[in-house]
Amino acid sequence: MIVLGIETSCDETGIALYHTKYGLLSHTLYSQTEIHNEYGGVVPELASRDHIRRVVPLIKQALKEANICLKEVDAIAYTQGPGLAGALLVGACIGSALSFALKIPVLNIHHLEGHLLSPLLSTPSPMFPFVALLVSGGHTQLIKVNGIGQYILLGETVDDAAGEAFDKTAKLLGLDYPGGRALAELAEQGQSGRFKLPRPMRHSGNFNFSFSGLKTAVSTLIKNHNITFQTCADIALAFQEAVIDILAEKSLSALMQSGLSQLVVAGGVGANIQLRKRLIRETTNIGATVFFPEFEFCTDNGAMIAFAGAMRLQQQKINYQHTMSSFTVRARWDLEIL
C-alpha cells in the first residue's frame, strides 16, 4: 500500500511516498528560509503563498523519483495541525481534492505525531513503549509513547520552546534567521566556563521546562559586556550548555521514572550534535538506548507524515465514503486528543 504524505504546517513544503512493504520510496522538500530571512521570522501569509507555488511540482517530483503514477497511490495523508492555519489549508485542500478525485482514503495527521514516529523510519528503530523528547522551534515536550495514537504528556515548556529560545538568542547575538544552527556553529568556537547561565526549572520536581528566562539572562550578558566575536562565541556556548543540561536531565529523569529503557528524540533541535553526544553518553551510562531520526527528518518533512498515515491506515479500515464530507485544519491541537 502506498501513502502520499503532504506537510505544509509552517515554512517547509514536504512531500513523500511511503510503501507499507518497501518503506520510503521518495521524499522532496522545499525550505522557505530565504523568503523569511529578511524578516527575522516566519511571515504566515508569505508561507501560505509559497506552499501553493511549491506543493504540486513537489508531488510530481516525488512521483517521478519513486517511478510511479498518481493512480498507484492508495491513500493520502496530510498535516491537519498544529501549525499556521493558512499554511495548513494548502495541504488540507490538495490532500482532500486528490482523495476525492482518486476515490481513495485521506488521513488527517497530527504534526507532532509525525515527529514522534520519525525515528521509526531509521534502522535500528525503537519498539513501543518509549519516552520521547519532542524538541523543536514550536514545542518542547516529554511524552510517553505506548503505541500509535497512545500518547501521555509527561511535561512541556511553560513559555518558549527550546528551538524558539535558540532562534531568539541567535538574533540577540546578531546571527541570521533561522539562528539555531548558526548559534550551534558559533558555540563550537566558544570557551567553556567564561559565562554561567541559569538552568530554569532544573529542580522543579516535574518534567516541565522554561527557556524565556534563559534568553533574558543572555540579553543581560550582552548589555553588560563589550561584544567581540569571542564574547559572542562564549555566550553561545554557555547558552547551548544550559539548554542541553536541562533537556538531558529532564529526559533521563523521565526515562528512569517511567521504568522504560528507550528514549526517542525528535524535532529540529534533535539535530544538535552536542545534544546527541550528551544523550548518547547519558543513556549508555544507565543501560538505556537513545534513538534519533536521520538529520534530514529532524526538520518538518513529508516522510514523517506519509509514515504516520501508513501506520494509522494499517490499524483501521477506512472506507472512501468516510473521507470527503468536509475538511478542517487545527492551528492548535492537543496531541493527547487524537
180 known member of a binding site? yes
Among residues 115, 144, 110, the alpha carbon closest in space to that of 255 is found at 144
To the question of whether residue 136 is assigned a binding role by annotation, the answer is: yes
Long-range contacts of 149-153 (CB under 8 A, 24+ apart): 149/113, 149/312, 149/315, 149/338, 151/113, 151/116, 151/335, 151/336, 151/338, 152/336, 153/335, 153/336
Q: Is 134 annotated as a binding residue?
A: yes
Residues 6+ apart with CB under 8 A from 185: none
What 48-55 contacts at long range (C-beta under 8 Å, 24+ apart), as own/partner pairs, is 48/84, 48/86, 48/87, 48/89, 48/90, 50/13, 51/8, 51/13, 51/87, 51/90, 51/91, 52/90, 54/13, 54/30, 55/6, 55/8, 55/13, 55/15, 55/90, 55/91, 55/94
137 is in an annotated binding site: yes
Q: Is 111 annotated as a binding residue?
A: yes
Name the packing angle between helices 179-187 and 273-285 (round to 10°). Answer: 70
Are 272 and 278 in contact, with CB atoms under 8 Å apart?
no
Q: Is the peptide bond before 44 cis (omega within 30 degrees of 0)?
A: no
Question: CB–CB of 302/14 below 8 Å?
Answer: yes
Determine whether the annotation assigns residue 138 to a binding site: yes
Question: In terms of DSSP H, where are the helices of the chain?
Answer: 33-37, 44-66, 85-102, 111-117, 162-172, 179-187, 212-223, 229-258, 273-285, 302-315
Residue 50 assigned to a binding site: no
Written as nine digits, the cell of 327 is 475538511
Nearest to 258 by CA among 112, 111, 133: 133
Binding residue numbers for substrate:
134-138, 167, 180, 272
Binding residue numbers:
111, 115, 134-138, 167, 180, 272, 300
Binding residue numbers for Fe cation:
111, 115, 300
